[in-house]
């Protein structure tokens, strides 16, 4: 099967399916072949070859028409954090190694409604805790651009799959950058929607007030179609917003150039000042020039409390996570220690054995910041600083409509490089966590490569529920810099 279809967008594939230039079965086979070929990337935990091919052949029998959803017959993958009924959902943990999901996540349900074919579950950092996808019970994910390097995390498997052409699109989750970071390390797009935009029902909870499921794709249209499929209020998730999610893909089909380019883009110069890799600085400045060339105005903005966002994040996420992970005790499901002698050792043995190091570290950190005597100084304080950070963005948005920033101060690092120092790992998140803390949307997109050939990404941060705008602007950038988009990283 011709690899040229790997460069096709979803609308193009949909047309090819309608015109019978390719069948759904052939499309699936194309991806399964590549998954096998690039097994060493370790981007999948489960692959559903047989069922997918059966599903595809049924769809082929049905046929494809213009009335069908664009995602019909398209092979997609999901981070192994989304419940897929009847299939293992492991969160890359020994604790859930054999856990068969008893229900579908809302995201899964909505994708099934769009007739997409879920071909497998992607590898990730255990329970979404990590920035490099090296904390997986099933081994690290390798960066397709350079397999001695990390793919980024925690949605590393999803990113590697999309980047290497092992699925058309994928869905990950972003709590402190976990969609945007691996997207930028692997040269693809990733969206963190506004908190409350996409349902978390059926997504294994990490940090409840920060988690957002988000799509990952090789081009803007695919990303939009993926987002449209899942966005919107869900009655099973009390944290979703009733703010209407209008179709972004429909919006992008129109010519919005004039209204978009009237806007002002904010640049948080002070916040980005230190410690950024010079290739990234160069790419940022190139992107800035492009923005200006397109007609946008730019303005310098202050985010005075953004420098505290990382510390706020590393109090809030472990605190909430330590509570969310209490349900994993080996009693009703999950790993149960074989050698327990009583109830107490059943709990601590199952959890001690079932969780990896990083997870245990965060649970302990979280237990500490919530405990009596420390709650006020840590958790409660962090919540107040969080308000200040949100306020900073609200103030910035009186002067601009979106904010441009690099995703990370550095590009993909070597496997093992930061494993001995958790703190060094946490610092990868510095430009991403303010977005989660402030509950804003952010779209990460590829802007080039560093001198070592590693992808660089920028992010466009929007106002709450203003996904339309950041999609629109990114589309304009994509049209100017087509060589950065739609790339397959590996043969």
Partner 1 sequence: MNKYDVVIGLEIHAQLSTKSKMFCRCANTYGLEPNTSICPVCTGQAGALPVINGRAVEYALRTALALNCKVNSTSVFSRKNYFYPDLPKGYQISQYDEPLAEHGGTEIILKDGKTKNIGITRVHMEEDAGKNIHDDKNSYVDLNRAGVPLVEIVSDPDITSPEEAVLYFKKLKTILEYIETCDCNMEEGNLRCDANISLKPAGRTAFGTKVEIKNLNSFRFLEKALSYEIERQTKALDVDEKIIQETRLFDSNKSVTRAMRKKEEANDYRYFPEPDLGPLVLARPFIDKLSSGLIELPDARIKRFVAEYNLSYYEADLFCSDKTLASYYEDTVKATGDTKLCSSWIQTVVLKALNDNKINVKDLTITPRAFSELLLLIKDGSINQNTGKDVFEEMLKSGKSAKVIVEDKGLSQIHDEGLIEQIVEEVIRESSVQVEQYRSGKVAVMGFLVGMVMKKSGGKAKPAVVNELLKKKLG
Partner 2 sequence: MVDKTLVKKIAELARLNIKESELELFASQLSGILEHIKSLEVVKVDGIKPMFYGCVDERPLALDEIELFDTKAITKTTPYIENQLFCVPSILEEEN
Catalytic (active-site) positions:
79, 154, 178
Q: Is 68 in the site for partner 2 (CB under 8 A)?
A: no
Q: Is 7 in the site for partner 2 (CB under 8 A)?
A: no
Compute the radius of gyration of the chain from its Cα atoms.
21
Strands 75-79 and 117-122: parallel
Q: Is 299 in the site for partner 2 (CB under 8 A)?
A: no
Among 35, 74, 312, 443, binds partner 2 (CB under 8 A): 312
Among 38, 94, 135, 200, binds partner 1 (CB under 8 A): 200
Nearer to partner 1, 71 or 105 (CB): 105
Q: Identify the CA nearest to 229 among candidates 212, 210, 248.
A: 248
Among partner 2, partner 1, none, residue 201 binds (CB under 5-8 Å by kind): partner 1
> In terms of C-beta distances under 8 Å and separation of at least 24 residues, what long-range contacts does 375-379 make, across chains too?
378/315, 378/319, 379/315, 379/316, 379/319
Range 26-49 burial, b when 16+ CB lie within 10 A, else e? bbbbbbbebbeebeebbbbbbbbe
Nearer to partner 2, 378 or 485 (CB): 378
Find the shortest distance in angstroms from Cβ 37 to partner 1: 32
Q: Decide if 119 contacts 47 (C-beta within 8 A).
A: yes
Token output for 484: 């950065």
Q: Is 439 in the site for partner 2 (CB under 8 A)?
A: yes
Q: Is 332 in the site for partner 1 (CB under 8 A)?
A: yes
Q: Is 449 in the site for partner 1 (CB under 8 A)?
A: no
Among partner 2, partner 1, none, residue 264 binds (CB under 5-8 Å by kind): none
Q: Where are the beta strands (DSSP E) in 433-485?
A: 442-449, 455-462
Token output for 483: 């060589």
Among 36, 39, 297, 327, binds partner 1 (CB under 8 A): 327
Dist. CA 279–CA 408, nearest whole Å = 12
Q: Identify the CA nearest to 79 among candidates 156, 145, 186, 6.
A: 156
Interaction residues for partner 1, span 75-94 (CB under 8 A): 82-83, 89, 91
Find the shortest distance in angstroms from Cβ 87 to partner 2: 12
Phi and psi torsions of 21, nearest 5°: -75, -25
Among partner 2, partner 1, none, residue 423 binds (CB under 5-8 Å by kind): partner 2
Coil, helix or strand for 262?
A: coil
Q: Is 274 in the site for partner 2 (CB under 8 A)?
A: no
Q: Is 208 in the site for partner 1 (CB under 8 A)?
A: yes
Q: Is the peptide bond before 154 cis (omega within 30 degrees of 0)?
A: yes
Strand order from edge to edge, sheet including 117-122: 44-47, 117-122, 75-79, 169-174, 212-217, 189-192, 442-449, 455-462, 402-406, 264-267, 297-300
Q: Identify the CA nearest to 378 among candidates 315, 310, 454.
A: 315
Among 147, 239, 256, 277, binds partner 2 (CB under 8 A): 239
Q: Is 343 in the site for partner 1 (CB under 8 A)?
A: yes
- Tally DSSP H helices, then E strands, for the chain: 18, 13
Q: Is 322 in the site for partner 2 (CB under 8 A)?
A: yes
Among 20, 51, 236, 292, binds partner 1 (CB under 8 A): 236
Among 426, 431, 445, 471, binds partner 2 (CB under 8 A): 426
Among partner 1, partner 2, none, residue 364 binds (CB under 5-8 Å by kind): partner 2
Dist. CA 169–CA 189, nearest whole Å = 10
Among partner 2, partner 1, none, residue 105 binds (CB under 5-8 Å by kind): partner 1
Find the shortest distance in angstroms from Cβ 309 to partner 2: 11
Q: What is the DSSP letter of 410?
A: S
Q: Decide if 157 contacts 44 (C-beta within 8 A).
A: yes
Q: Is 1 in the site for partner 2 (CB under 8 A)?
A: no
Place of tokens 């995703």: 407
Among 332, 338, 453, 483, binds partner 2 (CB under 8 A): 332
Among 385, 419, 488, 490, binds partner 2 (CB under 8 A): 385
Number of residues counted as binding partner 2 (CB under 8 A): 69
- Which parts of this chain interact with partner 1 (CB under 8 A)? 82-83, 89, 91, 96, 99, 101-103, 105, 200-205, 208-209, 235-239, 319-320, 323, 325-329, 331-333, 343, 347, 367, 370-372, 375, 379
Kindly list the residues in this chain that would bind partner 2 in the complex (CB under 8 A). 85, 99-100, 102-103, 194-196, 209-210, 235, 238-243, 305, 308, 311-312, 314-315, 322, 326, 329, 331-334, 336, 340-349, 351-353, 355, 360-361, 363-365, 367-368, 371, 377-378, 380-388, 390, 422-423, 426, 439
């Amino acid at each position: 099967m011709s690899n040229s279809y790997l460069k096709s967008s979803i609308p193009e594939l949909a047309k090819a399916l309608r015109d019978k230039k390719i069948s759904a079965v052939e499309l699936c086979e194309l991806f399964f072949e590549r998954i096998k070929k690039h097994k060493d990337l370790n981007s999948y935990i489960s692959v559903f070859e047989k069922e997918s091919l059966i599903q595809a052949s049924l769809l082929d029998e049905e046929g494809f028409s213009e009335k069908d959803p664009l995602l019909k017959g398209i092979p997609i993958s999901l981070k192994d954090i989304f419940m897929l009924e009847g299939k293992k959902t492991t969160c890359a943990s020994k604790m859930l190694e054999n856990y068969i999901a008893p229900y579908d996540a809302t995201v899964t349900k909505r994708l099934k409604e769009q007739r997409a074919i879920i071909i497998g579950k992607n590898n990730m950092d255990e329970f979404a805790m990590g920035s490099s996808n090296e904390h997986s019970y099933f081994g690290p994910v390798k960066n397709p651009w350079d397999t001695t390097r990390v793919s980024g995390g925690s949605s590393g498997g999803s990113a590697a799959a999309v980047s290497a052409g092992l699925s058309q699109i994928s869905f990950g989750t972003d709590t402190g950058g976990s969609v945007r970071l691996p997207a930028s390390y692997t040269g693809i797009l990733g969206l963190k929607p506004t908190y409350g935009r996409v349902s978390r029902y059926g997504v294994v909870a990490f940090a409840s007030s920060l988690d957002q499921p988000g799509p990952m794709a090789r081009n803007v249209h695919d990303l939009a179609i993926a987002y449209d499929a899942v966005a919107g209020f869900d009655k099973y998730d009390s944290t979703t917003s009733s703010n209407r999610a209008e179709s972004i893909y429909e919006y992008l089909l129109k010519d919005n150039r004039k209204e978009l380019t009237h806007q002002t883009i904010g640049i948080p110069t002070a916040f980005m000042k230190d410690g950024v890799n010079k290739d990234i600085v160069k790419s940022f400045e190139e992107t800035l020039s492009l923005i200006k060339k397109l007609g946008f105005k730019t303005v310098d903005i202050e985010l005075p409390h953004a420098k505290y966002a990382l510390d706020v994040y590393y109090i809030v996420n472990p605190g909430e996570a330590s509570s969310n992970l209490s349900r994993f005790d080996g009693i009703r499901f999950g790993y149960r220690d074989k050698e327990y002698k009583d109830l107490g050792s059943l709990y601590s043995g199952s959890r001690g054995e079932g969780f990896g190091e990083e997870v245990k570290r965060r649970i302990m950190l979280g237990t500490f910041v919530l405990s009596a005597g420390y709650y006020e100084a840590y958790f409660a304080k962090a919540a107040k600083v969080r308000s200040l950070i949100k306020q900073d963005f609200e103030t910035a948005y009186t002067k601009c409509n979106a904010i441009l920033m690099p995703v990370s101060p550095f590009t993909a690092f070597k496997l093992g490089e930061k494993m001995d120092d958790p703190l060094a790992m946490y610092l990868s998140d510095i430009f991403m966590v303010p977005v989660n803390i402030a509950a804003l949307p952010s779209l990460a997109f590829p802007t080039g490569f560093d001198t070592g050939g590693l992808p660089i990404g920028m992010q466009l941060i929007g106002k709450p529920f203003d996904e339309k705008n950041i999609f629109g602007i990114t589309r304009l950038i994509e049209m100017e810099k087509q060589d950065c988009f739609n790339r397959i990283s590996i043969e």
